[in-house]
């Protein structure tokens, strides 16, 4: 794929006003957030943490054991 640093906004059907607004927001994201995202930091909003995955895994683990118990007992 090509080096995209200077790619303009191009979406068929996007009107000039909206296109300019999208361009402004992309430039703002590149200026304020892109390097943070690349280095594991926040994007527009606070990044998800490892503990969020851990909570989901633990709860699902408990439910999985409950399901296995119900079919094996």
Partner 1 sequence: MATKEYVRKDVYFTVLPCRKGERIYRFWDLLAIQICFGIGAWFFLIGSQTGMWLSAKQAIPAIIFGNCFGLLLMGAVAIISARYGVEQLLGSVPIFGPKFTIVNVIFFAVTWLCALALAALMFGQSAIKLWGTIFNDNSVLASAFPGATIWAVLALIVGFIFASRGPDTLKWFTRIAAVFMIVVLIGLILYLLIHVGLDNIFKAKPAAPIVIEGDADLSNRWNIASSFEVNIGLGLSWAYFYGQYTRLAKSESGGFHGCMWGWGALAAVAGVFAAFAALAIGQYDPTSWLVVMSTNVGFPLIALIGLILMAVANISSISTIIYPAAITLVSNYPKLKWGLALAIATVPALILCTPGFYGRIASIYAIIGLINGIYGAIIVTDYFFISKGVYKLRDIFNTKEGYQYFHGVNPAAAISMAFGLVFYLIILNPITWTSLTGWFPYITAGVPTVILTGVLYYILMKAWIVKKYPAPIQAEKQE
- Contact residues for partner 1, defined by CB under 8 A: 1-5, 7-15, 18, 21-22, 25-26, 28-30, 34, 37-38, 43-49, 52-53, 55-57, 59-60, 63-64, 66-67, 69-71
Q: How far is the CB of 35 from partner 1 (least distance, A)?
A: 10
Helix (H) or strand (E) holding 42: none
CA distance 30 to 36: 10
Q: How far is the CB of 22 from partner 1 (least distance, A)?
A: 6
Q: Say which residue the tokens 């399901």 belong to.
A: 67
Q: Contact 47/40 with Cβ under 8 angstroms?
A: yes
């Amino acid at each position: 794929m090509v080096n995209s640093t200077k790619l303009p906004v191009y979406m068929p059907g996007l009107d000039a006003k909206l296109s300019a607004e999208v361009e402004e927001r992309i430039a703002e994201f590149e200026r304020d957030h892109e390097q943070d995202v690349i280095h594991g930091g926040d994007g527009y909003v606070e990044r998800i943490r490892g503990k969020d995955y851990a909570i989901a895994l633990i709860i699902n683990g408990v439910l999985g054991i409950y399901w296995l118990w119900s079919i094996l007992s």
